[in-house]
Amino acid sequence: MDSQFVPQEGGRWKSTDNEIVERRSNGTRFVRFRPVPAHQTAEAMNHLHERFNLLWDQGEIDPLLLIPTYVLDFLCIHPFTDGNGRMARLITLVLLYRSGYEVGRYISLERIIEEQREGYYDSLYRSSQDWHDTRHTLLPWWEYFLGVMLLGAYREFENRLKLVETGKGAKTAMVLDVLNRMNGEFSISDLRERCPNVGIDLIRRILRQERRFGRLECLGRGPGCKMETEIGTIPNK
């Protein structure tokens, strides 16, 4: 990728030490965690991958415990200068797909994390304490990963399936439900991805209706244009 489009050079481990910092409302700066130093990053990642691959191949640990454990270690190493959280969530999706859990194709895990942001960071903080000394506890992070993020995604997916099966008007209700959960900019392709059983004509008709009611704003023109709404502004029926 051309370097003019990215803030830093990508594809390499961090070259300087970094910190996970929280900036509080009163302006103070709180260091939540100090990751592995830059000069130890390559070794730490090699060890993580060797250990993970061994345990994965042995099959003695359930993937639903092994995956969040890997993700926690990845975030504690914090191997890149920037984008560690986004990379961790991408790795989460890939490993879940590899294990046969494909709910992330239909429900945005990223959005669920964003909606439960405080719980996400709190569980990471609690499970990362004493990580360097291998005296940390995985339980808070496991509880969040399985009980909030993954189970929450499957519950939402189940609710959408119920909407599809309830008969006339169900698809409209499903689209409105998804729209109501959209926060910020999105495109028609984003909406279609989350409503795979709804035709494009119905989606466009609903979008036109919501624009007329002033609950949806179009930010451009053409098939790839972005739209914007706010959570809770669109009724689900």
Q: Sketch out the chain's domains with CATH numbers.
A: 7-154 (1.10.3290.10), 166-229 (1.10.10.10)
Q: Where are the alpha helices (DSSP H) in the chain?
A: 41-58, 63-77, 84-98, 109-115, 117-128, 139-142, 151-165, 170-181, 188-194, 200-212
Q: Is the pTM of this model over 0.85?
A: no
CA distance 27 to 177: 37
What's the pLDDT score for residue 25?
80
Contact 47, 55 (CB under 8 A): no
Q: Of 198, 210, 195, 111, give the one whose Cα is nearest residue 157.
A: 195
| SS3 at position 167 | coil
Q: Of 177, 115, 178, give the one whose Cα is nearest residue 148.
A: 115
What's the pLDDT score for residue 231?
46
**Which pLDDT tens digit goes with each residue over 39-63?**
999 999 999 999 999 999 999 999 9
Q: Which long-range contacts (CB under 8 A, 24 or more apart) does 218-222 make?
A: 219/185
Residue 100 phi, psi (nearest 5): 95, 10
Bridge partner residues of 29 (DSSP): 23
Ranges of the chain whose pLDDT falls below 70: 1-10, 163-168, 220-225, 227-228, 230-237
